[in-house]
Structure 1
Amino acid sequence: MPGILLGDVFPNFEAETTIGKIKFHDFLGDSWGILFSHPRDYTPVCTTELGRAAKLSDEFKKRNVKMIALSIDSVEDHHGWSKDILAYNNEKPESTFPFPIIADDKRELSVKLGMLDPDELGKDGMPLTARCVFVIGPDKKMKLSILYPATTGRNFDELLRVIDSLQLTAQKRVATPVNWKPGEQVMVLPNIPEDEASTLFPAGVYTKELPSGKKYLRYTPQP
């Protein structure tokens, strides 16, 4: 099957974009990356999505994350539509768009990465790109993937939260619980013995008592 799994090295593809031709790994350098596709330029939900992504671009930069979008439209269409997105954000059309957009008009990359939505067809009867999200680490391996249908817009604020968790847990031996936000308590991994946990987390480890008597719900302040 086409597509890529968590932990796989992300393909080092070449593509035409709004900033010229790129080789993906060179584009990322030693940064994290987020590649996200949308069904079509000049459509309502996509405009709101990329508008929000553009608004949050400085937040992604703070986290050393390079953003890049993709659809099956041409570079020319991307440039024209970018002006509409800027206007949606109440910015001047001549402003610089904060991240590049890939032109996959032959659908070659979309097929390779499993990004097509078989239930959403264009005027030519061909499938459009779904709303995919891929987060790639500095090691070029895929750390997260989310796939939305064309009818459901994404939450880019949530993607920032997810990246905060990915970056924290890549550096520290912790996990983040449901609805976690930066600065809140994190969870001690089950495979860390109690004596090691007390050394690793000098701020203290709190264990919640459970009917089973098993001590697996362990919390500690964010390291």
Structure 2
Amino acid sequence: MYLLCARKPITRSSVRFLTFDAAKQPRIRIGSTAPNFVAPSTVGDLDFYKYLGNSWGVLFSHPADFTPVCATELGEFASLKSEFDTRNVKLIGLSADDLTKHVNWVKDIQDISLGGKKFNFPILSDTKKEVAFLYDMVTEEAFRNINKGPIATIRSLFIIDPTKKVRLVMTYPPSVGRNTHEVLRVIDSLQTGDKLGVVTGVNWKKGDDVIIPPSLSDEAAKEKFGNFKKVKPYLRYASTKK
């Protein structure tokens, strides 16, 4: 059984049993506080907030084990774990199958993508779709068919910052594999923006020029960034390279 709570510390008094009622489903948007939960995982029962600590997090979900697209995704995230580590980001997967299946699926993923190396981050078991409900991954209609096979809508990815705020939400169709490098690019952009008070343009990647927000005057921008390129009054580029 899962222990779930949206914003309160996990205690016996805060445990509640979820009914899959669309009117009661949390609405997860950019800026929402990521709901906490305790759920079984491949590394034991996992308290989400404690697992993240002061790190960023990427939570991404799958409707079932032994699915081809999802297997490639988990393998690629695992192979790039060192890249996420350098950005202070913790990975956590989720699948709506049980832990026994997870263990065997991980063996396949190690063979497919990791050259036999050990899989290196936890996968939640969400057999009752309760974390999926808590994170608004599944529609009310899907819950009416909850015991009739995989729920294709459990294909969401969340980037969560150290304050437990949701910074990005992406939901993929089952036929389209995620772009792990896009997830890294977004994290680089968010972390750069938080640090420097800037935004980033189309196809931006780490090291490229950033955009100075219109709220900053030219004088303040020059003091902060030195020389900058002014394309339009509202579009000004600055370098982050020293």
Q: Deviations over 1:156-214 (max 9, x none)?
A: 01100110001110111111100001111110001101111111112x111015xxxxx
CA distance in 2, matches of 1:175, 1:131: 27
| Matched residue SS, 1:208 | strand
Alignment of 1:107 with 2:129, yes or no, is yes
CA apart distance, 1:122 = 8.1
Map of 1:181 onto structure 2: 205
Q: Deviations over 1:94-142 (max 9, x none)?
A: x4211100000011111121112667x7882563452211001011111
| Matched residue SS, 2:46 | strand
Query: Which of the numbers 90, 99, 119 marks the counterpart of 1:97?
Result: 119
TM-score normalized by the length of structure 2: 0.83
Distance 1:57 1:126, change over 3 A: closer
Alignment of 1:168 with 2:192, yes or no, is yes
Alignment of 1:13 with 2:27, yes or no, is no
Q: Contact 2:132–2:154 (CA<8 Å) still a contact in 1?
A: no
CA distance in 2, matches of 1:28, 1:207: 40
Alignment of 1:218 with 2:236, yes or no, is yes
| Matched residue SS, 2:221 | helix
Task: Indicate the percent of aligned positions where both proteins have the same amino acid.
Answer: 43
CA distance in 2, matches of 1:201, 1:68: 37
| Matched residue SS, 1:20 | coil
CA distance in 2, matches of 1:90, 1:184: 31
Q: Contact 1:110–1:129 (CA<8 Å) still a contact in 2?
A: no
| Matched residue SS, 1:13 | strand
Letter in 2 for 1:206: K
Structure 1 unmatched runs, 5+: 210-214
CA distance in 1, matches of 2:127, 2:215: 47
Distance 1:91 1:122, change over 3 A: farther
CA apart distance, 1:42 = 0.5
| Alignment length (residue pairs) | 215
CA apart distance, 1:66 = 0.2
Map of 1:43 onto structure 2: 67
Map of 1:156 onto structure 2: 180
CA distance in 1, matches of 2:26, 2:175: 22
Q: Contact 2:60–2:93 (CA<8 Å) still a contact in 1?
A: yes
List 4+ stretches of structure 1 deviating above 6 A: none
Map of 1:23 onto structure 2: 47
Distance 1:81 1:125, change over 3 A: closer
Q: Contact 1:73–1:105 (CA<8 Å) still a contact in 2?
A: yes
Q: Contact 1:71–1:129 (CA<8 Å) still a contact in 2?
A: no
- The structure whose residues are more often strand, as a share, is 1
